[in-house]
Amino acid sequence: MKILIITYILSIFFISKNLFAIDTKADQAIVMDFDTSEILFEKNSNSKTPPASMTKIMTVYAAFDRLKNTDLSITNECIVSAKAYKMGGSRTFLEIDDKVSIDDLLKGIIIQSGNDASVALAECLAGTEEDFAQLMNVYAKRLGMNNTNFINSSGWPEDNHYSSVHDLAILSNAVIKEFPDLYLYFADKEFTYNDIKQPNRNKLLNSVQGADGLKTGFTKASGWGIAATAKREDRRITVVINGTNSSRSRMNESANLINWAFSQTSQKKLVDDGQVIVEADVWLGNKPRVNLVSSKKIISTLSFDQLQLIKSSIEYNKPLEAPIIKGKSYGKLLIEIDGKPNIEVELVANENIGSVNPIFRIFAGIKYLIFGTSLDD
């Protein structure tokens, strides 16, 4: 027997287009495909940076988890402490000793970026903001946010309070995947509390097709940043940037990256689960051939230049020796895409094939030795 290697080019049925280089004025940036978690563009994506009010995504994540998995309800009320009331920066304008529903606090955090609402919710759920920050870090570790450490619930500047745009993208996608119903809060465009109406600080909701979240942030140390996402048809793109020099630049840079991702990359199914890849000869089986099929579905997000030529090869022993067991791996499909790690897919038999009886095995062996052909040729 010998290992057969078949090399060919996968045709993806698309007209070639040039992919223009993409860059951003942001100091840190990442563009991620939501479904595949593939990184389409990154710039200093793992650098530690102050997350500013993007911190509040984790505050909301922790609250969503409690709402989903405990008896906590959005109608439950929290008492506003003096600490929460005195918070500076962006505010929901809570009053000291007010009883405020979880629902209103969430809207105050997400829409108005209220630092007072963030502290009030943290104290309500964990007793103190310090204890809540420890909970935030537990969630961060669980999600694989390896360049993150939270000190508070609002993003107020503090030493050793940091994250990365990559980690914030992981967090943003987790909110959407784990709490799809509660995530709808992020699409609300305005909120009125204490007779003060404030618009959502995420201006992409009104300017970018499909935008439905997540959160802006700004401190002097971080510059202007945003974790943003948009969905068009069945595809979602997540973008996180930080370190732009104005709110206008933040909006323009994030919008450009989102639109680039949708226009210049596409999500393609390279191989389907159970797809026939090759028909292999069987040695001394009660059937002469067996189909080797893909063991899994492979979906990848590709630029148009990557779609032009995808190198692929199939490796398996030829001929396969009976008996053949359905579902057992007998080879592999290798897919090479420029700029991406190689993809390896196990090829499994799609049916059982038994061996011929001993007498036929003897005659087949003689024929193979004399003529170099199998019994079925």
Q: Helices 56-69 and 165-178: crossing angle, nearest 10°?
A: 30
Report all structural domains of the chain as residue ranges with CATH numbers, in order of start: 2-13+270-371 (2.60.410.10), 28-244 (3.40.710.10)
Predicted local confidence at residue 275, as pLDDT? 94
Pairing type for strands 223-232 and 235-244 reads: antiparallel
pLDDT at 181 over 50: yes
| Other residues' Cβ atoms within 10 Å of the Cβ of residue 129 | 23
Kindly state the average pLDDT of the residues 61-78.
97
Q: What is the 3-state secondary structure (H, E, C) of the chain?
A: CEEEEEEEEECCCCCCCCCCCCCCCCCEEEEEECCCCCEEEEECCCCCECCHHHHHHHHHHHHHHHHHHCCCCCCCEEECCHHHHCCCCCCCCCCCCCEEEHHHHHHHHHCCCCHHHHHHHHHHHHCCHHHHHHHHHHHHHHHCCCCCECCCCCCCCCCCCEECHHHHHHHHHHHHHHCCCHHHHHHCCEEEECCEEEECCCCHHHHCCCEEEEEEEEECCCEEEEEEEEEECCEEEEEEEEEECCHHHHHHHHHHHHHHHHHHEEEEEEECCCCEEEEEEEECECCCEEEEEECCCEEEEEEHHHHHCEEEEEEEEECEECCECCCCEEEEEEEECCCCCCEEEEEEECCCECECCHHHHHHHHHHHHHHCCCCCC
pLDDT tens digits, residue range 118-173? 999 999 999 999 999 999 999 999 999 999 999 999 999 999 999 999 999 999 99
pLDDT band at 363 (very low <50, low <70, confident <90, very high): low
Kindly state the average pLDDT of the residues 45-67.
98
pLDDT at 262 over 70: yes
**pTM higher than 0.75 for the full model?**
yes
Query: What rounded mean pLDDT belongs to the chain?
Result: 90
pLDDT at 376 over 60: no
Task: Write out the catalytic residue numbers.
Answer: 53, 56, 113
